[in-house]
Chain A
Amino acid sequence: MIQHLTSLPVLLPMLAGVVLLMPPCGKNKQIRRFSSVALSFITLLASVLLLLQVDEMGNTTYAIGDWQAPFGIVLFADPLSTLLVSLTSLLGLVCALYACAGDDEKGSFFHPLLHFLVLGVNGAFLTGDAFNLFVFFEVLLIASYSLLMHGGDKHNTRAALQYVIMNLVGSAVFLIALGILYGVLGTLNMADMANKVTHLEGDDVFLAKIGGLLLLVVFALKGALLPLHLWLPNTYATAMPVVAALFAIMTKVGVYSMMRVYTLIFGDEAGELSHMAQDWLWWLALATICMGAIGVLASHDLRKLVANLVIVSVGTLVALVAVQTEDASAAAIFYLVHSTLVTAALFLLADLIGRQRGKVADRVTIGRPVTQPILLGGAFAIAAITVIGMPPLSGFIGKVWLLRATFESDYGAFFWGLYLLASLALLVGISKAGSTVFWHHQNKTQDNAEPVKAHKFQIAAVFIVLMGAPLLVVFAGDMSNYAIEAAKQLHDFSANTSVVLGEAK
């Protein structure tokens, strides 16, 4: 059981998805909801057990079907990947719980698709094989296409069509990149690729560089990095908020793949090819932060505002990836956890606020007051403080850490100025939106709709993700130690390759 634990975060959601399609769960709403939440909880449990195991016993690999690396496909669990797997499983649980309040009945197969999405994301985090990464990308994408259409109207169809076409082109580019890299390196196992890159000579170096930079295009598309971010605001703003909250982890898959590929394969040891993506990533990341901040100021509704916050967080993470020091990676890991949780919470809150304001929904205009101003207002204030990065919540720690990590880098001063200005823009944008939504309202309401109260599942779900902010502060010491350890493992070239290829000393 212990040695198969690595495969469970991938296998359990798959089984869950299949079970939820079958008769008792497929027919009965109550049973389906209960089993979906229970199965998400089991997945989370397995992920956390794996995290504890890796923390205790070090990095583990799992050869699928016992076909050994580099020919077989391996799953590779290190502190970083297990942390992200646990985060995904937690998000899956929260979204399943939230959807039980009624969102899951607006279309078909919400719960099975949710589990398939978790399967794809967990697989992408755990896999140690570049082609397998492509396969898991496709698994999570096909689930996300269907979830995006869930309970949608015509704006939704348009956004989905563009999203699907963008991603299909992305997949084609991904395959071309993999073809080039396989042709040059003769392997697709990431650790083995990292080994082989160090011995490249002559024209092969340039081919590998083309392959590596094509991969960058793909990951930039998945991660929504400028100029490939244009699909994101529309897609996230037209998807159902609970789906958008789940998607909060999807841009992080792109960022994670960048971390893996450009620190392991094209990292310090790669000779001529080391740090080849750094210059590109750095400037694109800064431009992404700018665009995100402008988007936040220009947003007319809360969901679009949060979608732009996602873009800002992607830009910040990619800037940290581009610095490529251990400290920067540790800051990125901390920031990644924090930003995923808080954007998910904000998407869910935007939904709750929109429901209670009748016709104006979540638009930032004068409308009728929300039915539960203290509950929602308080939650929104906590989330806003966290996402802007003001003390005392987790955003502040993340921000201080990332500013310290970029201080040493060549263009640190530039980053500081730009990032702090962007934070100011965020502060202005979010406070304007918050004060309009909660304090400016008509006294007489024209629409006589029944006051809507948030369902207890919805409140529970929002507060579970929102608890991340204070908890990341209370346990900041443990969390930052963990992030530092994870970053150390990520940068440890020889340990990574020897564990995967079974040459452990």
Chain B
Amino acid sequence: MEILYASCVGLLVACGVFLILRSRTFPVVLGLTMLSYAVNLFLFASGRLTLNKAAVLGYSSDYADPLPQALVLTAIVIGFAMTAFVVILAIRGRADLGNDHVNGQVPTNNNKGKA
């Protein structure tokens, strides 16, 4: 289970980083989303991966660490809000700048170097 979990997180981070390094805003936003999924999984695992442990205290003598669950919940909420914001910003950037390049202009050979 650990190997499967770890490779999931690793693969998501790798995809996320690759997409964030793209030059258009849409892949970048997708990359950020993937990175935040990976982070959520990772945070969840910081309480150790176990089977058959109760999530609620008092129903079992064995219980899972509740803190990572709280942290993940917070991280999901914040990540969701931030993703919504960056999507709106990317749309506004597309409208204001006339293209969806992160630098505000599509680099071509004849206008390279202009800021």
Contact = CB atoms under 8 A, between A and B. Distances in A.
Contacts of A153: 96
Contact of B93 (A157, A169, A182): A157
A123 to B, nearest CB: 14
A169 B91 CA distance: 19
B86 interface: yes
A473 to B, nearest CB: 41
A164 B86 contact: yes
Q: For chain A, what secondary structure do more than half of its interface residues adopt (helix, strand, loop), or is it mixed?
A: helix
B39 A165 contact: no
Contacts of B102: 161-162, 165
B46 A179 contact: yes
Given A135-B74, A154-B96, A161-B89, A179 B28 contact: no
Contact of B85 (A162, A164, A188): A164
Given A135-B78, A154-B96, A161 B25 contact: yes
A282 interface: no
Nearest to A145: B85
B43 A154 contact: no
B92 A169 contact: no
Contacts of B78: 135, 138, 171
A179 B46 CA distance: 6
B71 to A, nearest CB: 6
A131 interface: yes
Contacts, number: 88
Contacts of B38: 172
B46 A183 contact: yes
A171 B79 CA distance: 9
A145 B104 CA distance: 18
A169 B32 contact: yes
B20 A169 contact: yes
B89 A160 contact: yes
B107 to A, nearest CB: 14
B32 A165 contact: yes
A142 B82 CA distance: 8
A180 interface: yes
Contact of A178 (B36, B71, B90): B71
Interface string B21-43: 00001001000100110110011
Contacts of A131: 71, 74
A154 B94 CA distance: 10
A176 B39 contact: yes
A461 B85 CA distance: 32
Interface residues of B, number: 35
A287 B104 CA distance: 29
B80 to A, nearest CB: 12
B83 to A, nearest CB: 8
B46 A161 contact: no
A478 B60 CA distance: 58
A158 interface: yes
Interface in B61-76: 67-68, 71, 74-75
Interface residues of A, number: 28
A148 to B, nearest CB: 10
Nearest to A155: B104
Interface centre among A135, A169, A172, A178 (most CB of B within 10 A): A172
B15 interface: no
Contacts of B6: none
B93 A158 contact: yes
A210 interface: no
Interface in A114-147: 131, 135, 138, 142, 145
A179 B45 contact: yes
A145 B87 CA distance: 13
B32 A182 contact: no
Interface in A433-489: none
Contacts of A138: 78, 82
Nearest to A161: B93
Given A138-B82, A157-B93, A179 B43 contact: yes
Contacts of B104: 154-155, 157-158
A179 B71 CA distance: 9
Given A154-B97, A157-B96, A169-B35, A182 B86 contact: no
Interface in A172-217: 172, 175-176, 178-180, 182-183, 188
A159 to B, nearest CB: 9
Contact of A168 (B46, B86, B93, B96): B86
A196 to B, nearest CB: 14
A93 to B, nearest CB: 27
B89 A172 contact: no
B4 interface: no
B103 interface: yes
B1 interface: no
B3 interface: no
**Closest A-B pairs by Cβ, 6 of them:** A183-B46, A158-B104, A179-B46, A154-B96, A179-B43, A157-B96
Interface of B: 16, 20, 25, 28, 32, 35-36, 38-39, 42-43, 45-48, 67-68, 71, 74-75, 78-79, 81-82, 85-86, 89-90, 92-93, 96-97, 102-104
24 contacts: A131-B74, A135-B74, A138-B78, A142-B85, A149-B92, A153-B96, A157-B92, A157-B97, A161-B89, A161-B102, A164-B85, A165-B86, A165-B102, A171-B78, A172-B35, A172-B36, A172-B39, A175-B43, A178-B43, A179-B39, A179-B68, A182-B43, A182-B68, A183-B45
Given A157-B96, A165-B28, 9 more contacts: A142-B81, A142-B85, A153-B96, A165-B32, A168-B36, A178-B71, A179-B39, A179-B68, A183-B47
